[in-house]
A and B are shown apart, each in its own frame.
Chain A
Amino acid sequence: MSTPVLDRPADATTYAAHAHPLWRRALVTPEVAVIALLVLVYAWSNANVANFDNPLTLYYLFLDTAPILLIALPMTLVIVTGEIDLSVASVVGLSSVVVGMLHHDAGLSIPVAAALAVVMGMAAGALNGFLVAYVGLPSLAVTIGTLALYRGIAVGLLGTEAVTDFPDKWTDLAKERISEGSSYPMVLVPFVILLVLFAWLLHFTSFGRGVYDIGLNSEAAHFSGVNVELTKFWLFVLCGAVSAFAGVYYTLRYGSARGDNATGLELSVIAAVLLGGVSIFGGRGALHGVVAGVLLIGVISSAMRLENYTVNVINIVIGVLLVLSVMTTSLLGRARSLAARARGGGPRPPRRRNAVAAAPASESSTEDSGTQERHPE
C-alpha cells in the first residue's frame, strides 16, 4: 500500500490562505467584519440614539470597558494557543483586596501596593501556567479550580468588609480625562501602551509566531523549535499580571476594595475575545479584531442603555451576537467546502491522484477515480 501523503505532487501543496490575492486575504476576514460592524453600529447610534453623541457617553464607555479591554489583550494570546483562562476575574478581585489591605492595614502608598498586587497577579498566573504547561493539565479544569481558589482567598481575606478609604488623588486619577473636556479617560494611556506591546509581541516577533504555531499544532510547534511549555507559562503569567493591574484600576475607579469585585467578568472578556474573531480551537485571531469586539459590546450596551433597555436585554443581544459570530464562521466554512466540492476539488488539491495511479486496484480508490472521471482536469 502506498501512502498518499508521500506521493502528493509538489505542486499540490498550495496553501489555501495564499490562493487569493492579497487585498482579498486582508479584507475578507472576521476582524474586518467586526470592525465594519462596529463602525456601522457606532454611526447608526450617533445618528439615531438621543444623547449618544454626548462626550460623556464615550467617556463612560471607555471607563466601564477598560478592565475588559485590558484583560482581553493577554486573553487573546492565551486563547490563540488553544488554552483558556477562566480565573482572570478572580485575580481582579484578589488584586483589589490585596491593594485595599496593603493600603489600609499595612499603610503602604498606592503605587507600592499596586506594584505588589501586580506581583501577586503574576504569581497567580504562574500557578495556572505551571499546572497547564508543565504538569500538562487541561486549562479549562485548572482555571475553574483557580477561579474558585483565588476568589475564595479574596473573600476569605476581607469577608464582607470593604476598604473604601483611598486617597482622592488616586481615585480621581482613575477617572481623570486625558485633557480637560475630552471623552478619553486616563486609563486609555496604559491600555494603548499595553496594546502596542501585545500587538508587537503577537504579530511581529518570533514568540508570537510560536503562539500561533502552538494553537495550530503544538506537536509540530515543538518540533520546529518552539518552547511550547515556556511560551504557555509566560502567557498565563502575563494574563495574571494584566488582570491584577485591571484589579487595581477597578478598585480605584469605584473607590472600594471588596472580595466580590468583578465577579463574572471572565465571561465578558471571553465573549468579547471570541466575538473579535479569535478561534476557540486556537491558531487564529488578531488583536485589532479583539479590540473591535470589546468596543462593539461597549457601544451596543451604551446605545441600548440610552434607549432605556435594561441590562438583561443587552445581555441577550450580546449572547446572540456571540453565538452568531461563531456560527457564521462555521457555516461559511461549510458552505465554502460544499461549493468547493460542487466545483470538483476547488482550491483543495486532488490529494489522492497519485495514490490512485499507484494503487488502482485498492478498494478505497475506486471512489476517487470515479470523481476524476466526472471532473477531468
Chain B
Amino acid sequence: MSDLLVEPSSTSHAQRVIGGLLRSREIAVLSVLVALILVTTFKSHGFLFSSTGWRDLLLTPSLLLILAVGQTVVIITRNVDLSVGSILGLTAYLTGKLFSDHPNLPIVAVFVIGMLFGAALGLVNGVLVAWGKVPALVITLGTLYIYRGAFLTWAGSDRINASDLPKDFLKLGTQQVLTIPVLTIIAATVLVVVGYVLYTARSGRELYAIGSDPDAADLYGLPVTRRVLLAFVTSGALAGLAGIVYVARYGTVSSGAGSGIELQAVGAAVIGGVAIFGGSGTVWGAAIGAFLLVTINRALPILGISDFWQQAVVGALILAAVVLDRVLTLRQERQLVEARDR
C-alpha cells in the first residue's frame, strides 16, 4: 500500500486557487450578471448611476435572495421545499396582523415572532419528511396547499395596507445605510451566516454528506434525521424572514403574496450551480442566481424586449444552466477516467 492513490498536484498553490476560481460556477454566473448590468447601464445610465437605480438594483433581489439561500440548504440534502411561497404569504399576513393588533410591539419582536413562526411551519415539513421517510416533493407540495389555504382562510377578504403598519417599519423598506438599503443588508447577513456555517461548521458539511449519499451518511453514523430536520427548519425560518421583508418592502399583503415564488427560488439555486440531486453547490452561487433572475426581469424592458418575455428568458436561463452543468460534469468525469487509466 505504498502507492499513493492521488499524486500531489504539480501546480503551485496559487495556481490551483486561481484555476479553481476561474472554473467555479459562481464566477461564471457572476460574470453573466456583471455583463448584464454593464450592457443595461450602457443603454440607460440611470440603471446603475441614478440613486433610485442603484437602490433598486440592490433592494429588489433581497427577497428572492433570502428564499434562495433557504432553498439551497434544503436542496443540498437532496430534498426540496415547495412550501416557501405559502410560508412567506402566511408570515407576511401574520406580520401585518401583529402590527395592526399590537401597535406598540417593537419591530425586533415582530422579526423574532415571524421567523419562529416560519421555523415552526418548516418543522412540520421536516418532521413529515425526515421521520415519515416520504419524498420532500410530495410533502411540501401538500403543505404548499395547506399553508396557502390556511393563509387565505385566515385573511378572508381582508388585506393589510400601508396604513395598518407603523411608520418606522415601512421606513425599513426604503432606508439606506451608506446608500445600501437596510433590507439588502439583512439579506446579505443571512447569506454570509448561512454560507459560513455550510462551508466550515461540522453540521454544515454533514448536510453535503447527506445529500451526496444519504445511505452512506447513515452508515457513517451521521444524524441524518436531525440534519434534514434542521435544513427544513432553516428554510422555513428564512421564508418567514422573507415574509417580513415582503411587508416592509411592499407595505401591503394581498392574497397573492408569494404565490409561485417557490419555483423562482428553486430556479435561482439551480442557475447558481446547486445540483438538484443534492450534495453540491453553494449559497453564494444561489445568491448570485437570485440576483441574476431579478435583475434580468428589470433589465429586459430597458434592453428593448417587452417585459412579457421575462419568464421565457428565465426559463431558457435555467435550462442553459442545467445543460452547462451536465456538459462540465461529463468533461470532468472523462478527464478523471483518463487520469486514472494513464
Which residues on A are within 8 Å of B, measured CB to CB?
A: 84, 86, 131, 135-138, 140-142, 144-153, 155-156, 159-160, 259, 263-264, 267, 270-271, 274, 280-281, 310, 312-316, 318-320, 322-323, 326-327, 329-331, 334
Size class of the B contact interface (CB-based, 8 Å):
35 or more
Whether, in the assembled complex, B46 has its beta carbon less than 8 Å from a beta carbon of chain A, the answer is no
**Interface-side segment among B35-43, B114-122, B132-140, B175-183:** B132-140
In the complex, how many angstroms separate the beta carbon of B208 from the nearest chain A beta carbon? 18
Cα-based distance from A135 to B143 in the complex (angstroms): 32
Residues of B with C-beta under 8 A to A270: 141
Q: Which residue of B lies closest to A322 (CB)?
A: B142
Query: B277: CB under 8 A from chain A?
Result: yes
- Whether the pair B308, A156 counts as a contact (CB closer than 8 A) is yes
For window 298-324 of B, CB contacts with A under 8 Å fall at 306, 308-319, 322-323
Residues of B within 8 A of A280 (CB): 135, 137-138
- Which of these binds chain A: B23-31, B50-58, B97-105, B149-157? B149-157
A330 to B133, CA, bound (A): 7
B contact residues around A144 at 8 Å (CB): 263, 266-267, 270, 318
Q: Which B residues are in CB contact (< 8 Å) with A146? A: 315, 319
B223 to chain A, nearest CB (A): 19
Closest chain-B Cβ to A92's Cβ sits at a distance in Å of 15
Give the residue name and chain of the A residue nearest to B277 (CB): A138
Bound CA–CA A314/B145 (angstroms): 9
Report which of A141, A147, A267, A281 forms a contact with B270, defined as CB distance below 8 A: A141
Q: B153 contacts A312, CB within 8 Å? A: yes
The secondary-structure label for the interface of chain B is helix
Known contacts A144-B266, A152-B310, A156-B308; is-contact A318 B145 (Cβ 8 Å): yes
Name the 6 nearest CB pairs between A and B, nearest first.
Answer: A152-B312, A149-B315, A319-B145, A152-B311, A148-B315, A145-B318
Q: Does B326 make an interface contact (CB < 8 A)?
A: yes
Q: Can you name the residue of chain A whose Cβ is closest to the Cβ of B305? A: A156
Nearest Cβ distance between residue A276 and chain B, in whole angstroms?
13
* A64 shortest CB reach to chain B, Å: 17
Q: Which of B135, B138, B149, B323 contacts A312 (CB 8 A)?
A: B149
Query: Given that A84-B137, A267-B141, A315-B149 are known contacts, is A136 also in contact with B326, CB under 8 Å in the complex?
Result: yes
Residues of A within 8 A of B311 (CB): 148-149, 151-152, 155-156
A267-B137 Cα distance, complex, nearest whole Å:
11
Check: B146 CB closer than 8 A to any chain A CB.
Answer: yes
One of A136, A147, A263, A334 near B315 (C-beta < 8 A):
A147
Taking A145-B322, A318-B145, A326-B134 as contacts, is the C-beta distance between A151 and B315 under 8 angstroms?
A: yes
The yes or no answer to B249 lying at the interface (CB within 8 A) is no
Please state if B260 and A323 are interface contacts (CB–CB under 8 Å).
no
Q: How far is the CA of A51 from the CA of B152 in the complex (A)?
A: 26
B312 contact set on A, CB distance < 8 A? 148-149, 151-153, 155-156
Contact B80 A319 (CB under 8 A): no
Is B148 located at the chain interface by the 8 A CB criterion?
A: yes
Q: A84 — which chain B residues lie within 8 A by C-beta?
A: 137
CA distance A334 to B315 in the complex (A): 40
Q: Which residues of A contact B144 (CB under 8 A)?
A: 267, 319
Query: Nearest Cβ in chain B — how far from A146, in angstroms?
Result: 6
Residue pair B314, A330 in contact (C-beta under 8 Å): no
A137–B134 contact, CB under 8 A? no
Does the CB pair A323–B267 fall under 8 Å?
Answer: no
Given A138-B322, A140-B137, A159-B308, A322-B313 contact (CB < 8 Å): no
Chain B residue at minimal CB-CB distance from A333: B133
Are B260 and A316 touching (Cβ within 8 A)?
A: no
Report chain B residues within 8 Å CB of A159: 306, 308
Contacts of A264 in B (CB 8 A): 259-260
Give complex CA distance A84, B82 in Å. 15
**Does the CB pair B145–A315 fall under 8 Å?**
yes
By a CB distance below 8 angstroms, the chain A residues around B137 are 84, 140, 280
Known: A140-B80, A142-B319. A326 touches B314 (CB 8 A): no
Task: Report if B170 contacts A (CB, 8 A).
Answer: no
13 contacts between A and B (CB under 8 A): A131-B322, A137-B322, A137-B326, A140-B276, A148-B318, A150-B315, A155-B311, A280-B138, A310-B153, A315-B146, A330-B132, A330-B134, A331-B132
User: Nearest chain B CB to A55's CB is how many angstroms away?
Assistant: 29
